[in-house]
Amino acid sequence: MTLAWQGLRHRYANGAEIAYADFALPAGRHLLLQGASGSGKSTLLALLAGLLRVQQGELTVAGTVLAGLSPRALDAWRGATLGVVPQRLHLSEALTVAENLALPALAAGQGAEPARAAALLDALGIAGLAARKPHQLSVGQAQRVALARALMRRPRLLLADEPSANLDDDHTAAMLALLRDVAQREGCTLVVASHDSRVVTAMADAVGLVLPARADAVDRAGEGAA
């Protein structure tokens, strides 16, 4: 799995600009992304996920140079390559757990793979929850469902944004152990963005990338509060 960028910058419409120092992830390693609020972690995750277009510089993910892809090719690439566990889980409340797991494949015009869903729910210790709706799940169970959903299409890269947000110590430890375990079993690379010391400790063997604080992020925070 290649993950590397050179000369990467992103500029938002309001003028906020983030410049990322050149980086390459060594093969076989996971990445822990850290940095103060406003340093650009979520922006980088969105760039890696192809959700923001590369405006300047070169970004290579899993051997693909993202800037070269058409929007349609980018969609196909994302579906085939990436799993995302977002900070807000975005489970569909109207659907059961099993239906939530089927949704990404169905949206991509593919079969639902119920056997894969059942195997993942089993591996994540929530085999009995397939018929439940999200509001019938605990926070930790919902996190596992979101992880199972992210793994449905066998991603090569699994992105997790603040995976410990709203979790107590026990659930944080369990979530991190699960992430690492599935990454190992499924052979995918983890990119975890977090400034939670519990996550940093649990991912001590990952490559750590600390984004520098940005002066205009501080200014903008001040503007927002005014």
Ligand X SMILES: Nc1ncnc2c1ncn2[C@@H]1O[C@H](COP(=O)(O)OP(=O)(O)OP(=O)(O)O)[C@@H](O)[C@H]1O
Contacts of 70 (CB under 8 A, 6+ apart): none
65 neighbors 5 (Cβ within 8 angstroms): no
Considering beta carbons, is residue 18 or 48 the nearer one to ligand X? 18
CB of 216 to ligand X, least distance (A): 6
Considering beta carbons, is residue 39 or 143 the nearer one to ligand X? 39
Report the C-alpha gap between 148 and 95 in whole angstroms. 15
Report the C-alpha gap between 52 and 176 in whole angstroms. 27
CB of 112 to ligand X, least distance (A): 33
Q: Which residues lie near ligand X (CB under 6 A)?
A: 12, 14, 16, 18, 35, 37-43, 214, 217, 220
Considering beta carbons, is residue 37 or 55 the nearer one to ligand X? 37
Contacts of 86 (CB under 8 A, 6+ apart): 146, 161
Considering beta carbons, is residue 17 or 186 the nearer one to ligand X? 17
Considering beta carbons, is residue 40 or 134 the nearer one to ligand X? 40
CB of 214 to ligand X, least distance (A): 6
CB of 37 to ligand X, least distance (A): 3
CB of 45 to ligand X, least distance (A): 8
- Within the chain, where are the H helices? 41-48, 71-81, 97-107, 114-123, 139-151, 169-186, 197-202, 215-225
Which residues is 3 bridged to in the sheet?
61
